[in-house]
Structure 1
Amino acid sequence: MNPSHSLKQHIALAYILLAVMVAGAFSLVSYISVEIIEEQVIDVRLAKMADRLIDFQQQGRLPDAPPEVRFLIDGDIPPELQQLPVGSHELALNNRHVHALLREHGGRRYAVVQEVEELAHTEQVILWALLIGFAVSVLLAIALGMLSARRLIAPIAALAEAVEGNVAASALPSLAAQDEIGVLARAFAKRTDELQQFLQREQMFTGDVSHELRTPLTVMLGAAEVLAAQLSAQPAQHAAAERIRRVAAETAQRVSALLVLARAPESLHAPRTLLNAIVEAEMERCQPLLQGKPVACSLTCSEPVSAQVRPELAGIIIGNLLRNACQHTEQGTIVVQLAAGQLVIEDTGTGIPQRLRERLFEPFVHGAEQPAHEGTGLGLSIVKRVADRIGWDVRLQQPASGGSRFVLSFPALRTDLPGP
């Protein structure tokens, strides 16, 4: 999972954004309130003081101004203030921060100037306090967000780890919880139990059917061998009996392969198997499918090729791919290329329609619009399932010259290594 898109990150980010918005709004409102209060308090105070001082001056009395306030008349007013219009002003005068109120009364100009250095310092303190409070709020939000996210995600992470570890449904964590995590855990447990029961039923059914078929197949194989021995002096009948024996033997091998597939993957023993002999045997078995067709089937292989696989499982994959090529090729060639780590079966048949290529390995999907040979459409599906089971890869390619090319990839083994 990409950490930048994890649920933990989203929860922590939500806390941080909330803190930034709330603390930022509070700080902004506080700062604006301080500014408004400052302006109103100073302006009202200067206005009242100006009224009183101007009255004193007109009455000939000595103006009584506080020490931090200066009352200036006409020429005593500094040039910086002379240029300003009547009203309240905030400016720097002689490197001092002041508020000034200018008035004109009776043809004379008056100025009431108050230094606000202490007030400006207080304003700076408030501003820094707001900034520090904002930063502390964000840091607390980060810590609280990470802590809350960790506590919220911990049950989900434990549940995911248990599911990945294939823990029994009854042993999943948070099953007794009454919150959403408990609902999720119970849903996982129910689904896991259903899947395990389904897989168990499938394995038992496959094993039971395969076991029940072995006895009649053994009888058929024994009878075919006896019949072939009795007809050894009659070539035509002997060939038919030998074919029955061969088909019965092949069917027995397929049943054995089904029994192998019914086992758990970890119980499968995969010996070192020479694939050359399997390919040649499967090509020989497919020869009856090419009788009467102008089709040449050839094998290209320059060295022994081995793989870590059960022979019967490799035979299922290779045999189905070869039969598929023989059934759908009416003329031309079928070329089998075997090399280390790869088997390629290419034919000059009708090819696979574009709309069927993506679904070709699904059950009951035929590789042609109207197949010349009746079938269930399970051959390539079985190939795909067996290949996935043993860790091989099979894919379809469309040659430029037409037809089909199936590429079977498998882990290559060094030819100089001794067998088991």
Structure 2
Amino acid sequence: RRSLKRRLMEAFFLLALTSGAVFSLSAYLTYDAIVTHVVRWHMEPILRLLVTAEAGGKDAAQKGLPASEVLAESLRVKWRTGDAIPEDLRPGRSSGRELVRIERDRYALTYRDDKGNDYAVIGKIKDLDDLEEVMLDVLLACVSGSLLAAGLLAWWLGRRLITPLLELARRVKAGEALDGTPLCAREDEVGALARAFAGRERTLRDFLNREQLFTGDVSHELRTPLTVLQGGAEILESRLSGTPQGTDLLPVVERMQRTIASMTATVGTMLLLARKPEQLERRDFDFSALARQETENARRLLAGRDVSLRCCVPETLPLRGNPELAALVLHNLLDNACRYTARGAISLEADAAGFTLTDTAPPIDPGVRARMFERGVRGTARTPGSGLGLSLVQRGCERLGWSVGHEAWEGGNRFHVRFGPWDAPPSGLRPDTQSP
């Protein structure tokens, strides 16, 4: 959820902290090694001198003190031998020199010779204390400078990296053309992304142009022949009326007229689906009248079958939308119900919120139910049809601003369609007045 710029700054700060920690540890180890070397270099000559004076010491007899103590006093160090050495400063079991830090600026260099004699010289080195303070200040300044530099570098790189991405996102969101822009001329990853978007944009533009040409061709090449066929069927019907041959041929002509009218409506609906939702014409229509008309058309499909069809809708149900798309939704749902219901009943119920279509067809398989509104999906391989009906229902509902859902019940299937908030009928509607 964090922006790329923020994550980039966090990464730089983390890198600076890690580098500062490694640098601090390295500086501390280096400083400790240097201090140990300097202290040994400073105190070992004093230790050797005092050990030599302790071994030979008769030159200070006139003062009544051992020579080593006189020398230690003149060198401003403390000199301890044998049991006078504090327990925590005694050298280890092996012979040799050991350096111990007592306080911040006080050190003790202990020594055990081959004969087992213990010696210790304790001194205060003020210069090292000052040097440690200086090095600590330098270390803090380096770490602070590293963090500040990391922040500035992250801010600068963030602007250089994020600004082109934001500009690309703005152009894509606004639908502006990317071809020929400085973004496509860049030689980095942003340029590659911009060129990929531009290529995709060209592909979609070409596809849209082909779809628009196809829509225009369908409108011209199909609607005109259907109009001619409709006119020819009407002329044929008028000439057959009142003739002996008309008794046998008029039902065929009427069926041709219904088929031509259905094809004309289907072509018109397909053209509507090809438009953008905002380009659809919306007008007032009576959903109840539309439902009764589609129900009557569906009854012809059920002729001779043991299936009852019930239409329970208000006397009037005014909506505002596109009646052709509403007829498409109703027609395909009723057609599916009539196609798959072998026996039983089909019921269409509507109110101010929407309508429900219930059938007694075999329940849709749960594995198919998740994809039932996709194009070309059918229940089984033996299921009749092309698998486009429910896909058209879904697309029609999307254009109208409606929602469609399905549920299985113990007797079959139930489809729920809910109208959009702007389709609500006026308050004067009497939803309890229904026509069977």
TM range (shorter): 0.7 to 0.9
CA deviations over 1:285-326 (Å, ceiling 9, x no partner): 111111111111122334744444211111112111110111
Aligned equivalent of 2:64: none
> Is structure 2 residue 35 aligned with structure 1 residue 38?
yes
> Is structure 2 residue 150 aligned with structure 1 residue 178?
no
Aligned equivalent of 1:89: 100
Cα distance in 2 between the residues matched to 1:67 and 1:140: 51
Q: Is 1:173–1:185's contact at 8 Å kept on the other side of the alignment?
A: no
Alignment of 1:143-162 (within 5 A): 143-162=152-171
> Is structure 2 residue 408 aligned with structure 1 residue 398?
yes
Amino acid in the other structure paired with 2:165? I
Aligned equivalent of 2:5: 8
Cα distance, 1:324–1:111 mapped onto 2, change above 3 Å: same
CA deviations over 1:9-51 (Å, ceiling 9, x no partner): 3432332232222222112101111011112221332122110
Q: Is 1:329–1:348's contact at 8 Å kept on the other side of the alignment?
A: yes
Return the offset for 1:107. Answer: 7.9
CA deviations over 1:336-386 (Å, ceiling 9, x no partner): 222334332221102322332233233333234423xx4322222222233
Aligned residues: 408
Cα distance in 2 between the residues matched to 1:107 and 1:404: 103
Q: Is 2:400–2:420's contact at 8 Å kept on the other side of the alignment?
A: no
Amino acid in the other structure paired with 1:145? A
Aligned equivalent of 1:71: 78
Amino acid in the other structure paired with 2:25? L
Aligned equivalent of 1:21: 18
Q: Is 2:405–2:415's contact at 8 Å kept on the other side of the alignment?
A: yes
Aligned equivalent of 1:332: 344
Alignment of 1:224-263 (within 5 A): 224-229=233-238, 238-263=250-275
Q: Bigger CA drift: 315-324 or 148-157?
A: 148-157
Segments of 5+ residues of structure 1 without an aligned counterpart are none
Aligned equivalent of 2:58: 60
Amino acid in the other structure paired with 2:386? T
The structure having more radius of gyration, on CA atoms, is 2
Return the offset for 1:163. Answer: 1.5
* TM-score, normalised by the number of residues in structure 2: 0.83
Q: Is 1:88–1:99's contact at 8 Å kept on the other side of the alignment?
A: yes
CA deviations over 1:187-225 (Å, ceiling 9, x no partner): 211111111111221122122113221122212222333
Alignment of 1:94-243 (within 5 A): 97-103=105-111, 109-170=118-179, 174-229=183-238, 238-243=250-255
Percent of residue pairs identical: 35
Return the offset for 1:132. Answer: 3.7
Cα distance in 2 between the residues matched to 1:200 and 1:248: 29
Cα distance in 2 between the residues matched to 1:255 and 1:104: 110
Cα distance, 1:9–1:236 mapped onto 2, change above 3 Å: farther
Cα distance in 2 between the residues matched to 1:214 and 1:67: 122
Aligned equivalent of 1:47: 44
Cα distance, 1:118–1:235 mapped onto 2, change above 3 Å: farther
Cα distance, 1:111–1:328 mapped onto 2, change above 3 Å: same
* TM-score, normalised by the number of residues in structure 1: 0.86
Segments of 5+ residues of structure 2 without an aligned counterpart are 60-66, 92-97, 430-436
Determine which of 266, 278, 300 is the counterpart of 1:288. 300
Cα distance, 1:215–1:82 mapped onto 2, change above 3 Å: closer
SS at match of 2:77: strand
Aligned equivalent of 1:383: 393
Amino acid in the other structure paired with 1:375? G
Aligned equivalent of 1:320: 332
Return the offset for 1:240. Answer: 4.2
CA RMSD of aligned residues (A): 3.0
Cα distance, 1:73–1:360 mapped onto 2, change above 3 Å: closer
